Structure 1
Amino acid sequence: MDQKQAEIRALGVLTWLVGNEELLPVFLGATGADEADLRTRALEPEFLGSILDFLMMDDAWVIAYCDGEGLPYDTPMRARQALPGGADVSWA
């Protein structure tokens, strides 16, 4: 997955979050973002990465998103790896 595809996927996750009345407030609280940030920062690759990071905090959220979109469960992880700050970290 390239960065453009990852950005499109992260925007899909953002759309899913905005439509989820229970989870959106959790996202806003966890990230410190507000609704204005969703509009003004939605095209920033770093912000899109934070959306994917949030989604991947809970397997149930990943499953719900991916099942709703008909995507493999590793899609958010692959998208995150293609965005800034998402490269695999080697501790060795």
Structure 2
Amino acid sequence: MRARETNEDAGALALRALVWTLGEPDRAQRLLDTTGLDPSDLRARAGEPAVLSAVLGFLENYEPDLIACADGLAVAPDALVGARAALDGGYEA
């Protein structure tokens, strides 16, 4: 798989995961607290690979959220983990 396509696909999946994460106020607040981002910074930087990777890493660090997000997006949890790896410069598994 070509790196650019992988990163674009990973970014699209990560954006969907971000929307899912922000859909629940307590989880959204945990994301902000964990990443150190504030709402305006998150809005401004939401498309950046580093921010998207941080969102996916946040989900990875709490397996119930990772699984719930994967279910909500109709993807395997491994797809979210692979997307983070792709955004960090690796390739999807």
**TM-score, normalisation: structure 1:** 0.87
Equivalenced residue count is: 87
State the shift of 1:84 in Å. 2.5
SS of 2:82 mapped into structure 1: helix
Higher percent of residues as helix: 2
Amino acid at match of 1:16: W
The CA distance in 2 between the partners of 1:84 and 1:60, in whole Å, is 23
- Structure 1 gaps of 5+ residues are none
Q: Distance in 1 between matches of 2:41 and 2:79?
A: 24
Given the two structures, how large is their TM-score scaled by the length of structure 2? 0.86
Task: For 1:73, give the aligned amino acid.
Answer: P
Report SS of the residue matched to 1:71: coil
Q: Percent identity?
A: 37
Coordinate RMSD, CA, aligned: 1.6
Match of 1:27 in 2: 31
Amino acid paired to 2:54: S
* Pairwise CA distance, 1:21: 1.2
Structure 2 counterpart of 1:75, from 68, 76, 79:
79
* 2:8 counterpart residue number: 4
2:44 maps to a residue whose letter is T
Q: Which secondary structure does the structure 2 equivalent of 1:66 belong to? A: helix
1-structure distance, mates of 2:74, 2:47 = 24
Determine which of 43, 47, 50 is the counterpart of 2:47. 43
Cα displacement (A) at 1:37: 1.4
Q: Does 1:16 align with 2:16?
A: no
Q: Is 1:59 matched with 2:60?
A: no
| Partner SS state of residue 82, structure 1 | helix
